[in-house]
Homo-oligomer: A and B are copies of this chain.
Amino acid sequence: MSFPVPQHDHGACIRGAMDAAESACRMQGARLTPIRRRVLELVWENHQPVGAYALLETLAKEGWSAAPPTVYRALDFLLRHGLVHRIALQNAFVGCSHPGEPHAGAFLLCSHCGAAAELADLSVDRAIAEAAARNGFSVTRQTIEVEGLCPACRAGGAGR
């Protein structure tokens, strides 16, 4: 998965993510309740990380009973079941591009437009595993967040 191209059909993109989530939850015997489902949809609304309080505000406008624990619990569920990732650099959350297989996730974050793309590249994981092993360290989880300019913003002249 990489950055969405301009002609990208985002409706289909969201439907795909929701279908994948449904099936992942069925597989794991997890309950994708209405509020969890809605939070996941909102996280997928655009290809950018979303803050918990932004989600909260949207939910409130939509008439949900909304207090911080509401959204944090939903996010916690989605994290535990590998449906979203947390971007530590931004205290924000983004949809997982390939749920099903638990994985750490590595992200490219555009400083100009805010877009996030999940990097499905094992060479990075491998380099980390090897470097850790050389230091006698056994890895359980890794966080990789790379800031820079996405292809569109480079073309647009954002960085020059």
Contact = CB atoms under 8 A, between A and B. Distances in A.
Interface residues of A, number: 39
11 contacts: A2-B135, A88-B143, A108-B132, A117-B135, A119-B131, A121-B127, A121-B131, A136-B151, A137-B150, A139-B148, A140-B149
Interface string A41-69: 00000000000000000000000000000
Contacts of A3: 135-137
A127 B123 contact: yes
Interface of A: 2-3, 88-89, 106, 108, 110-111, 117, 119, 121, 123-124, 126-128, 130-132, 134-151, 154, 159
